[in-house]
Structure 1
Amino acid sequence: MGNVLAILARDFKRLLKVPSAWVVAIGLVLIPPMYAWFNIRGFWNPYHNTKGVEVTVVNNDQGTTNKLIGKANLGSQIVTQLKANDQLGWNFADEQEGMDRVRSGKSYATIVIPKTFSKDLVDTITGTGNRPELKYYVNEKVSAIAPKITDTGAGTVDTQVNSTFVSTVSEVLSDALNTLNGTISTTAGTMQTNTVRSLDEAQSTISSARGKLATIISTMDSTPAKTKAARQSLASLQQAAVDAGNSLTATSTLITTAQNGLNDFAATTSSGLDQGTALLTQTMQETTGTINTVTAGLSKANTTAGNAVTTLQNANANTASVLDTLSNLPVSTPELKAAIAQLKASNENAAETLRGIQALNTSTGKSITAVSDLATSVNNAAQQSLTATSTARSAITSGALPQLNSGLGSLAGAAGTLGGGLSNQTALASQTDVVLDQLDKASTDTAAALRTTDKALAKLGTKLGTIATDINALSISSALSSMLGSDGELDTKRIASFMLSPTVLDTTVLYPVNSYGSGMAPLFTNMALWVGAFALVVIFKTESDSEGITAMTATQGYMGRFLFLAVFAALQGLAATIGDLLLGVQTVNAPMFILTGVLTSLVDLSLIFALSTAFLHVGKGICVALIMLQIPGASGLYPIEMMPDFFRTLYPFFPFNYSIKAFRETIGGFYDGHWAHNIVYLLLFTIIGFVIGLVVRPLMANTNRMFARQIRESDMIVGEDVHLPGTEYRISNVLQALTNHSGYKASIERRAARFEALYPKLKRGALIVGLVVPIILAVTFSLTTNTKLEALLAWVIWVLLIIGFLLTIEFMRDNLRRQRELGNLDDTAIRDTLAARNRRHAQ
């Protein structure tokens, strides 16, 4: 660090010893900021001086007469309005003078209103006219920006024409409505009354429907109690069927016993017949009682099922009636539609259950008939048996026994048939119980659906009531008072005024800037500081010599000269920003504005100094190219979104981008740490600059020496020697020369001779290709559209490739020259060179 400060002090002492150098130094500090000051002041408020931009208006409109509008000359109205407009320098002339003025450049544009303008515009009301046209002539040769300003003037005329036309038509139509319709208040009152009446009718219909739904819901709620009674009857029926089956089994046994007794004892005694007759009579009585019990149970179950069928039929019919009523309501909501759909599905399920119960009821009736028929058969069989027994008493030996056996067999068959019938009735009772379960579920679902429907109807009724209340409360006179006069008719003048300007734009400016100059200050200040830093490396020497400095290293020399130039760069930043503030550039924080300028100037210097020392004149050319790219590509003038893709891609890599944003924060107002964010990104370019200067530059030492030597030989280009501590010879070449001096020299001489013979051909070929290929590229891209930027980029890349090739062959030639120079040294000089190299590395 001591050598760095020593270099800085030495350089300032050199400067102070020469008074004329002070003038140059002061000029370097003040002249670049003047670029920003003059541009900022020149662009301070250009859009407030547009009244000096002349636009000629030619009015050829002859006017028109229309039944609705009467006499109208819209061209004259436009001219009257423009004379009161100071947005531009309006000039009014005939067509010949107007065209002469725009062609000569005295007027930037001319607007011609044609003869039939009013007629065409008014005829559009009836649909018979042509679309009117304003002829607009603009001279774009005079200025690049003026056409954009005159376009605004043409837009102003077009807007005024449309506004005037809409206002006039609105006034005419309002008069026509007043003539045809009388007063709007009466019509509005009638519409209000009719609407309220319709809403009341809808509410009444909904109330009626809800009453029917309440009845149906009550019926559905009572269904489970009825089905419970039916289940109890079915349970009694099943028990009676079991008892009857047991009785019939006992009867069959008794009949068999009677037959056996008759057969065994008929021959010897008639007392058996008496016993059999008594037993038969007893059996007949028990059987008849059992049959009567079963028949009574079936009848009761059939009656209960019939009542359920009747109830479900009534509920089904009432539900269908409610569905019809709801479907015909004048108002419908999504909730009501969903309730109607659910109610329809429930009603269809109930109808299906009803059909099942009806079928079951019919089967039960048939079973009752069958049981009654069986009872008759039993009685007939019993009577036949008794008759046979009586006959047997008188003629037991005359063949009556077989007849008795036959009667008993018939009776046993009848008892078996009756037992089977009773078993079937038990299964039928089980099926009936399942159907009753279905009936319970159907009635529950139907009741739930009906309750949902009732809630939807209640909500709809409430909404209709609210709407009716709002309509009743609405005063037509207050709602339309802004358009109706005291007589109830449309106020045509007020409507026309409203249509002329229906909206008012309420503008709130965030972070306001006092002038266009303040808005452009970030760009112009950045350009001035970049040019100022570039001027420093052009006027002052960039190489630091070792005079008066002991054992100076490359890094020390670089940092010492950078700090020397940084003092002037910081002064440039101070002068530029303080001058901006004196001109009136807005700022919300003056110290931060000045600090931003100083940091920007130092960052610019770090990049420019690094490129200029690492690549000499090529680096300086890169610095010029960078400012050309950053003016359109750093969003200083136009938003980056308006730029081509090429600039939008490079946008994040430009230091101007972050410096301009930081300046804007100090001018318009700070937000959420944006200033610090941009300053951090800006300082990253300083790191890039030092990497180039401290790492890349030493690697370019021999190349830079070659450039400096050739520039000096040209005797036309200003240059300076490279004072970079190091060696021109590679350590490998030095060792070869010391090991076999004569052999090394002979080998290098042969290689140099071969390259010298090839060198002119390589250079001539590169020049030819460098000219031919750009011509081919130009022809190729001229045959395609929208590729101008791509063509320019391809041409630049090719030129850079050719330059790179030429630099390569020049570096190869210079490398051979240095190796030949090493070969011509004696061993002592070569050893001194190696020793000096070792000493520098040791330091």
Structure 2
Amino acid sequence: MKGLSVFSKELGSIVRSPKVIIPIIAVLFIPLMYSGIFLGTFWDPYSKLSDLPVAVVNQDKGADYEGKSLQVGADLVDKLKENPEFKWNFVSAEEAEDGLKNDRYYLMITIPEDFSKDATTLMEDKPKQAEIIVESNEGHNFLAAQIGGTGMQTLKSEVSAEVTKAYTETVFEQLTEISDGFVTASDGATKLNDGASDATTGAETLKKNLGLLVSGTEELKSGLGKLQQGAKSVDTGAQGLKAGSSSLSSGLSQLNAAQKQLMQGVVQSNQGTTQLAAGISSSVEGSAKLSEGSKALAQGLEQYMKATNNEENPALQQLLAASKQVAAGNEELHQGAVKLNQGATQLKAGQGQLQGGMTQFGSKLSEAAAGGKTLADGAGKLAAGTGQLTTGLAQAGQGMNGLVDGSSKLNDGAGQLKDGLVKLTDGSGELATKLNEAAGKTSDIKATDARVDMFASPVDLVEKSINKVPNYGTGFAPYFLSLGLFVGALISTIVIPLRETPVLNASAWGRFISKTLIFAGVGIIQALLADAILLYGLGLEVSSVPMFVLFSIFTSLTYMFIIQGLVTAFGNPGRFAAIVLLILQLTTCGGTFPVELTPKFFQNLGAWLPMTYTVNGYKAIISIGDNAMMWHNSGILAIFAVVFLALTGIFFKSVYGKKQDNAVA
């Protein structure tokens, strides 16, 4: 009761004293000024960005892209004219630079002359990004530059989407061309498949005929072997004929010399002449067959060379020449044999006239001798020709071996060709099918506006918040309310006496109760005034008005008791400590930037300072709607309040309790 009595008397003294009551009334509005005026001024600055002057300079010259005129800079200017986000000023480069330097513009946006041209380099080997140059005068206003930079990021996204639209439209057009190309390619692949099928049939026929060629060359090789053996036999006979004709020529010469002796052996000569005529007749027939055979051989070789395209083959040419020489020699041999046969016939016919016509016989015998010589010469040529024929046939045999091997390899290659053509047929058929499928799929791709917009901007940012904060002022209300109430409590200790009281001989307890109630009353009124202006003046939305007011009162009382304790106990040093405490709390409470962005020391320090819990409590009751969180922070604040109330009580007890004891004594 004594404490309340001291309080009532001291309160009456304050009310009656204008010098005291007027400063106290002024102090009551300190939190309102901090929270109300500051937050009211910057309650929602982002809604007024349209008043922020920004200079725009368009130097873009445009460009051609896939036959289309691209004017990205002009399109950007048109978009800015429709965009109310900033106060756009479309000026020259000189005007923009001067305005930026002299604080008429906060930002200067320059669209370079190659802006559109750079935007068309996507498909080049070294594409170049189009640039928008944003200049700011951070020295004039740093936050304005930051806000402008954020707006430019949005602008960049919109411009990028427009450029991407141009790319996308071109890509869709090319996809249509690709679809047509797939159809054409499919038709070509079908024709390729048909051609490959025909080629496969041809390869089968070629393989079959090459098989016949291999068989024919094998038979030809075998026949050539027999021909070689026959040629050797002919050569042997020709050599014998040569020797015989030489002997005949020599005998006829001797017969001519022994003409006189011949008369004596007419009878014997008649018999020999008969045998000679028969032999010569046989020789004529043999020479005729030999002549025809050699001619046929020469003609056969010539036809063979033409049929096998070996007219330039040296071995076959030599063989052909030899065959012709043999044919010529056989012809001469035949002619000689015919003449010899004629002579023999005459000789036989003239046996009856032999005795009377020895002179005539001598003449005829001379002719026979000449014919024998001719026969000997022809036999020599025949022998030489058959020798060449044998050599040529041997060379032809070697060439035939190569022909057999080549035709066999050609036959194998034809088999591989057939297998490859089968694979080509299968592959071209599958290619035609796949190209038809690809053409069907790409033909469905149409460049609709919705599809182009989707390609240009495939991702839409959907922002969600579990605890939506409507504006800047609401977000910073916990911080500035805490700051305003702390400053209000600090200034209260300047205008309200902390220790002295107009009540004489007031006890320590009475002083403690009186001062505590006075400061508590001031703190409550400060909280109510600040809450009133925020709730009903600025329209602050909170989850619960009663809880908001209750927590404001609790916050104000906590600050008031902390500062009362410091200043009461320590005087001006205590007031200085309160100022230091305020400064530390501004950096550690998380009212502006997240505490995680501060140094680790300040993060740890914040847990020991009261403003951390006032800010968190206000967040809980203003934006989050978590009453449990608010009561948790209130409990921690109660600890601060009790500790510093105890400090105030200890001071009064230690100072004024002793004086009271001395007075009683």
| TM-score of the aligned structures, taking structure 2 as reference length | 0.58
Higher relative contact order (CA 8 A, sep 6+): 2
Which residue type is aligned with residue 638 of structure 1? F
Q: How does 1:218-297 map to 2 (within 5 A)?
A: none
User: Aligned to 1:648, which of 571, 592, 603?
Assistant: 603
* Separation (CA, whole Å) in 2 of partners of 1:571 and 1:105: 43
Q: How does 1:603-752 map to 2 (within 5 A)?
A: 603-671=558-626, 673-695=628-650, 724-726=656-658
* Separation (CA, whole Å) in 2 of partners of 1:541 and 1:187: 100
Deviations 1:266-293 (A, max 9, x none): xxxxxxxxxxxxxxxxxxxxxxxxxxxx
1:76 aligns with 2:74: yes
* Cα distance change, pair 646–108 in 1 and its aligned pair in 2 (3 A): farther
* Separation (CA, whole Å) in 1 of partners of 2:67 and 2:601: 56
1:635 Cα deviation from its structure 2 partner: 1.4
1:578 aligns with 2:577: no
* Separation (CA, whole Å) in 1 of partners of 2:103 and 2:561: 47
Which residue type is aligned with residue 53 of structure 1? L
For the 8 Å contact 1:58–1:113, the answer to whether it is kept is yes
1:560 Cα deviation from its structure 2 partner: 2.6
* Counterpart in the other structure of 1:524: 480
* Separation (CA, whole Å) in 1 of partners of 2:62 and 2:493: 71
1:497 Cα deviation from its structure 2 partner: 1.2
* Separation (CA, whole Å) in 2 of partners of 1:35 and 1:111: 36
For the 8 Å contact 2:53–2:104, the answer to whether it is kept is yes
1:838 Cα deviation from its structure 2 partner: 11
The alignment-based identity, stated in percent, is 24
1:38 Cα deviation from its structure 2 partner: 0.6
Q: How does 1:464-483 map to 2 (within 5 A)?
A: none
1:31 Cα deviation from its structure 2 partner: 4.1
For the 8 Å contact 1:121–1:131, the answer to whether it is kept is yes
Which residue type is aligned with residue 141 of structure 1? G
1:58 aligns with 2:57: yes
* Separation (CA, whole Å) in 1 of partners of 2:126 and 2:27: 73
* Cα distance change, pair 695–117 in 1 and its aligned pair in 2 (3 A): same
For the 8 Å contact 2:52–2:106, the answer to whether it is kept is yes
For the 8 Å contact 2:55–2:96, the answer to whether it is kept is yes
For the 8 Å contact 2:10–2:502, the answer to whether it is kept is no
* Separation (CA, whole Å) in 1 of partners of 2:597 and 2:566: 30
Q: How does 1:751-790 map to 2 (within 5 A)?
A: none
1:698 Cα deviation from its structure 2 partner: 6.6
Query: Where does the alignment leave 5 or more consecutive residues of structure 1 unmatched?
Result: 189-475, 702-723, 728-834
Which residue type is aligned with residue 564 of structure 1? I
* Separation (CA, whole Å) in 1 of partners of 2:638 and 2:661: 38
1:184 Cα deviation from its structure 2 partner: 8.4
* Counterpart in the other structure of 1:387: none
Which residue type is aligned with residue 77 of structure 1? D
* Separation (CA, whole Å) in 1 of partners of 2:463 and 2:515: 53
* Separation (CA, whole Å) in 1 of partners of 2:102 and 2:569: 53
Query: Where does the alignment leave 5 or more consecutive residues of structure 2 unmatched?
Result: 187-436
User: Aligned to 2:163, which of 162, 165, 171?
Assistant: 165
Which residue type is aligned with residue 580 of structure 1? L
For the 8 Å contact 1:75–1:117, the answer to whether it is kept is yes
* Cα distance change, pair 545–18 in 1 and its aligned pair in 2 (3 A): closer
| TM-score of the aligned structures, taking structure 1 as reference length | 0.46
* Counterpart in the other structure of 2:493: 537
* Counterpart in the other structure of 2:41: 42
Which residue type is aligned with residue 75 of structure 2? Q
For the 8 Å contact 2:489–2:563, the answer to whether it is kept is yes
* Cα distance change, pair 181–21 in 1 and its aligned pair in 2 (3 A): same
For the 8 Å contact 1:518–1:585, the answer to whether it is kept is yes
* Cα distance change, pair 32–130 in 1 and its aligned pair in 2 (3 A): closer
* Cα distance change, pair 115–534 in 1 and its aligned pair in 2 (3 A): same
Which residue type is aligned with residue 520 of structure 2? A
1:609 Cα deviation from its structure 2 partner: 0.3
* Separation (CA, whole Å) in 2 of partners of 1:546 and 1:27: 22
Which residue type is aligned with residue 528 of structure 2? L
1:512 aligns with 2:468: yes
For the 8 Å contact 1:578–1:594, the answer to whether it is kept is no
Deviations 1:699-736 (A, max 9, x none): 7x6xxxxxxxxxxxxxxxxxxxxxx3437xxxxxxxxx
* Counterpart in the other structure of 1:276: none
* Cα distance change, pair 507–187 in 1 and its aligned pair in 2 (3 A): farther
* Separation (CA, whole Å) in 2 of partners of 1:184 and 1:637: 61
* Counterpart in the other structure of 1:139: 137
* Cα distance change, pair 670–187 in 1 and its aligned pair in 2 (3 A): farther
* Counterpart in the other structure of 1:6: 5
* Separation (CA, whole Å) in 2 of partners of 1:186 and 1:596: 79
* Separation (CA, whole Å) in 2 of partners of 1:81 and 1:623: 54
* Cα distance change, pair 839–15 in 1 and its aligned pair in 2 (3 A): closer
**What secondary structure is seen at the aligned counterpart in 2 of 1:145?**
helix
1:497 aligns with 2:453: yes
For the 8 Å contact 2:585–2:611, the answer to whether it is kept is yes
* Cα distance change, pair 542–175 in 1 and its aligned pair in 2 (3 A): same
* Separation (CA, whole Å) in 2 of partners of 1:642 and 1:69: 52
1:498 Cα deviation from its structure 2 partner: 1.0
* Separation (CA, whole Å) in 2 of partners of 1:633 and 1:100: 41
Deviations 1:620-674 (A, max 9, x none): 0111222222223211122222233343222212211111222222222423711
Which residue type is aligned with residue 470 of structure 2? N
For the 8 Å contact 1:184–1:489, the answer to whether it is kept is no
* Cα distance change, pair 15–672 in 1 and its aligned pair in 2 (3 A): closer
* Separation (CA, whole Å) in 1 of partners of 2:182 and 2:161: 26
* Cα distance change, pair 602–545 in 1 and its aligned pair in 2 (3 A): same
Which residue type is aligned with residue 676 of structure 1? W
For the 8 Å contact 1:513–1:667, the answer to whether it is kept is no
For the 8 Å contact 2:620–2:627, the answer to whether it is kept is no
1:88 Cα deviation from its structure 2 partner: 1.5
* Counterpart in the other structure of 2:148: 150
User: Aligned to 2:517, which of 551, 556, 563?
Assistant: 563
* Separation (CA, whole Å) in 2 of partners of 1:513 and 1:155: 22
* Separation (CA, whole Å) in 2 of partners of 1:521 and 1:178: 59
1:525 Cα deviation from its structure 2 partner: 1.6
For the 8 Å contact 2:527–2:556, the answer to whether it is kept is yes
* Separation (CA, whole Å) in 1 of partners of 2:182 and 2:560: 78
Quote the RMSD (CA, aligned, Å): 2.9
**What secondary structure is seen at the aligned counterpart in 2 of 1:502?**
coil
For the 8 Å contact 1:4–1:557, the answer to whether it is kept is yes
Q: How does 1:88-107 map to 2 (within 5 A)?
A: 88-107=86-105
For the 8 Å contact 1:641–1:648, the answer to whether it is kept is yes
1:589 aligns with 2:544: yes
Which residue type is aligned with residue 163 of structure 2? F
For the 8 Å contact 2:172–2:445, the answer to whether it is kept is no
For the 8 Å contact 1:171–1:493, the answer to whether it is kept is no
Aligned residues: 413
**What secondary structure is seen at the aligned counterpart in 2 of 1:123?**
coil
* Counterpart in the other structure of 1:25: 24
Comparing 25-34 with 614-623, greater Cα deviation is found at: 25-34
* Cα distance change, pair 542–81 in 1 and its aligned pair in 2 (3 A): same
Deviations 1:188-217 (A, max 9, x none): 9xxxxxxxxxxxxxxxxxxxxxxxxxxxxx
**What secondary structure is seen at the aligned counterpart in 2 of 1:56?**
strand
* Separation (CA, whole Å) in 1 of partners of 2:529 and 2:475: 19
1:489 Cα deviation from its structure 2 partner: 4.0
**What secondary structure is seen at the aligned counterpart in 1 of 2:57?**
strand
Deviations 1:287-331 (A, max 9, x none): xxxxxxxxxxxxxxxxxxxxxxxxxxxxxxxxxxxxxxxxxxxxx
1:110 Cα deviation from its structure 2 partner: 0.9
* Separation (CA, whole Å) in 1 of partners of 2:568 and 2:168: 75
1:592 Cα deviation from its structure 2 partner: 1.0
Which residue type is aligned with residue 578 of structure 1? A
* Cα distance change, pair 186–676 in 1 and its aligned pair in 2 (3 A): farther
